[in-house]
Amino acid sequence: MRYKVNLIKTEEGYAIRCPGLPGCWSQGQTEQEALDNIQEAIRDYLIVVEELTQELETRYVEVA
């Protein structure tokens, strides 16, 4: 699965966020480190969402 991320150059390196997942941010000293870190943050985010919603009745909709 692919997610769009936004890199922001800072004095300390790079901040990075995933706009499709509210609150999913990370950082790194290099661009590659920031990208690696956001991959882990996205994985962890999705695991938590799954755990928090597993008891809820769920449906899927398709958007064209």
Structure confidence at residue 21 (pLDDT): 98
Q: Is the pTM of the predicted complex or chain greater than 0.95?
A: no
| Domain CATH for 16 | 3.30.160.250
pLDDT per position as a tens digit, 4-43: 999 999 999 999 999 999 999 999 999 999 999 999 999 9
Instruction: Tell me the per-residue pLDDT of 16-25, one tens digit each, with 9 for 90 and over.
Output: 999 999 999 9
Query: Is 48 domain-assigned?
Result: yes
Tell me the β-bridge partners of 46: none
Range of the domain at 35: 6-53
Number of domains in the chain: 1
Please report whether residue 58 resides in a domain. Answer: no
Q: What pLDDT, on a 0 to 100 scale, did the predictor assign at position 35?
A: 98
Residue 59 located in a structural domain = no
Residue 37 lies in a domain: yes
Q: Residue 26 domain-assigned?
A: yes
- Phi, psi angle pair for 17, to nearest 5°: -135, 160
* Residue 33 belongs to a domain: yes
Q: State the Cα–Cα distance between residues 35 and 48, nearest whole angstrom.
A: 20
Residue whose C-alpha is closest to residue 21's, from 1, 40, 44, 45: 45
pLDDT at residue number 28: 98
Residue 57 corresponds to which amino acid?
E
